[in-house]
Chain A
Amino acid sequence: MNGRKQTLLAIVIALVAIALPLVTPDYRAQIALLWVMVLFAMTWDILGGQTGYNSFGNVVFFGIGMYASAVVQRDSGLDYFVALFLGMGLGGLIAVAVAAILGSMVLRMRGHYFAIATLGLGIAAAELAAGWEFIGAGSGMTTPLYPGDPGVQYLFFCYLFFALTAVVFCLLAWLYRTRFGLALNAIRDNEDKAEAMGLRTGLYKTVAWMIAAFFLGLTGGAVGNLLRFVDPRDTAFAGATYGVWMVLMAILGGKGTLWGPVLGAVVFHVTQELLWTHLLGWQRVALGLIIVAIVVFFPQGILGWARERWPERFGHKVEAS
Chain B
Amino acid sequence: MADNLQLLFDAPLLIVQLLLDGILIGAIFAVAAYGMALVWGVMNVINVVQGEYVMLGGFIAFQLTLWDINPFLGVPVAAVILFVLGIAIYYGIIRRVVDKDLFISLLATFGLSILMQQLMNQIWGSQVRTAQSGLSTWFLFDYQVTVSQVKLVAFAGALMIGVLLILFLKRTRLGQAIRATAQNPRAARVLGIDTDRVFAATYGINAALCGAAGAFVVMAYSVHPYTGLPYTVRSFMIVVVAGLGNLPAVILAGLGLGASETMAGFILGVQFQVAFVFCLLVIILVFRNTMLGRKRRYLK
Contact = CB atoms under 8 A, between A and B. Distances in A.
Interface of A: 54, 56, 105-106, 108-113, 115-117, 119-121, 123-124, 127-128, 130-131, 137-138, 240, 244, 247-248, 251, 281-282, 284-285, 287-292, 295-297, 299
Contacts of B115: 284-285, 287-289, 291-292
A6 to B, nearest CB: 29
Nearest to A56: B110
A204 to B, nearest CB: 16
B278 interface: yes
Contact of A111 (B114, B274, B281, B300): B300
Contact of B299 (A110, A244, A287): A110
Nearest to A105: B286
B134 to A, nearest CB: 34
B82 to A, nearest CB: 18
Chain B binding surface SS class:
helix
B117 A106 contact: no
Given A282-B118, A288-B116, A295 B102 contact: no
Given A112-B46, A285-B122, A291-B108, A117 B114 contact: no
Contacts of B112: 288, 292
Nearest to B270: A131
A285 to B, nearest CB: 4
B281 A117 contact: yes
Interface in B108-151: 108, 110-119, 121-122
A109 B282 contact: no
Nearest to B229: A123
B106 interface: yes
Contacts of A130: 271, 275
Q: Most A CB atoms within 10 A — which of B101, B229, B233, B275?
A: B275
25 contacts: A106-B285, A106-B286, A108-B298, A109-B286, A109-B300, A111-B300, A113-B285, A113-B299, A113-B300, A117-B282, A119-B233, A123-B229, A123-B278, A124-B275, A127-B272, A128-B275, A130-B271, A131-B269, A131-B272, A138-B271, A288-B112, A289-B111, A295-B111, A296-B104, A299-B100
Given A116-B236, A116-B285, A124-B279, A247 B107 contact: yes
Contacts of B300: 109-113
Interface in B220-263: 229, 233, 236, 240
Contact of A109 (B114, B116, B119, B299): B299
A56 B103 CA distance: 11
Interface in B261-300: 269, 271-272, 274-275, 278-279, 281-282, 285-286, 289-290, 293, 298-300
Interface residues of B, number: 45
Nearest to A291: B111
Nearest to B106: A115
A292 B122 CA distance: 19
A105 B287 CA distance: 9
Nearest to B286: A105
Contact of B275 (A119, A131, A289): A131
B271 A131 contact: yes
A110 B292 CA distance: 12
Nearest to A104: B286
A296 B97 contact: yes
A297 B92 CA distance: 12
Contacts of B279: 120, 124, 128
B126 to A, nearest CB: 11
Contacts of B271: 130-131, 137-138
B196 to A, nearest CB: 17
